[in-house]
Amino acid sequence: MGSIISFNDNPLSINNRIFHFTLYSLLPISLICLYFNFFSLTHSPTQLLHSTTIFTYHTSICSSPPSTSSIEEDMAYDYEKSCDYSNGDWVSDMREPLYNVTTCGTIKESEKCTTNGRPDLGYLYWRWKPSQCNLPRFEPNTFLKLMKNKHIAFVGDSLARNQLESLLCMLSTNSTPYLVYQNGEDKKFRRWHFPSHNVNFSLYWSPFLVHGVERSNEEQYYNTMFLDLVNERWARDIDQMHMIVISIGHWFLLPSIYYEGNLVIGSLNCPELNHTQIDFYVPLRKALGTTLNSIIDTKVAKGNGIDVIVKTFSPAHFEGDWNKGGTCSKTEPYRKEEKVVGGMEGEIRRIEIEEVESAKVKAKEFGGIRFEVLDVTKLALLRSDGHPGPYMNPFPFTNGVQEYVQNDCVHWCLPGPIDTWNEMFLEVIKKWK
């Protein structure tokens, strides 16, 4: 009779048992790895950031674990790239501004609030804290390195000038700018050069962006705009520009007549002219649309790219009307729950964002042309304390409190809250690069 071999005593059967045990042990782990690999491919980095337990479990089982610091750095990097800097609150910050009125030579006299006698300095010691991330302090050297050999143009109203002057002051803490060109009343067309990095900054006064005639107190009280014709005073130089920063809004609130195709399509607050009354939202949208489309068409025709940033509307804070006793006398920011973006400033902001999104869609057909919004409306709305107010003029109360003192509640003291716009501006550039 054949001998019977005990399975338990057979060395081969022991190996089989080990093999099957290993196989059955690895199978659940493999399924777990497969699941989480699939999960990581089908979820955005932002979604993964909100799934901390899953993210950690996946890395510990299926790969060699990176250091805690590298995981945190990667998470922070992805998070910052997708951060919404437009929502947040102003928090106390006792660090000194990067510059002051004595160290920067590009500040307009009416925005030198401290040397014009403003007694309170608390408005200088606040920083913008986005709700879900961090807004880094401005790095002049980083900005100049990223913009090396570039020409950046600020186009639009006086807030474009205000922002550029702030930017030049911040950059001048690292390198000296030289004024190489100026022209026009009140120096409305200027150019600065940073030889250290071969960077040029230009200022183009164009409050409508499109072709138009500004109102005159002596001749006519209303503006004239040609909504389908871009203003060639700045547009003829598009070929020389690598980046354009656009600022419009406040001039559209004034009485105006609007043309399209050389025909009057309506007017705003000009009742004696017998034109159709239309609100300014339609002309604003048309003017911005004409501008963005013109930039695309020009760059496509020349075969080169450009970056375009549209700054959203920065609200005024007059308690009353300009030149009629309106003031802005707060000395601290509003809290975020005290002011909500809505009404006129909310509608202007919405139009600006929508037109940028439309331009992005069109630009995708060609490549090399990028558009972005610099959304400053909320953070500006909260800073009624950051305007020159009566200190647009030197020592307005030297002879006592007058019955009427002119206030500027549109533009911003330098240094001041507008410096934050340029911190956000740099983050947009870093994201692109």
Residues belonging to the active site: 158, 408, 411
Strand 223-230 relative to strand 210-213: parallel, antiparallel, unpaired?
A: antiparallel
Under a CB-based contact definition with an 8 Å cutoff, are residues 216 and 173 in contact? no
- Locate tokens 């050389």: which residue? 262
- What's the chain's Rg over C-alpha atoms? 29
Nearest to 202 by CA among 175, 236, 230, 226: 236
Tokens for 116? 């014009």
Helices (H) and strands (E) in the chain, counts: 11, 13
Q: What is the dihedral angle through the alpha carbons of 413, 292, 258, 349, rounded to the nearest 10 degrees?
A: -50
Cβ atoms within 10 Å of 415's Cβ, excluding its own: 25
Strands (E) located in 195-271: 199-205, 210-213, 223-230, 243-247, 256-260, 263-268
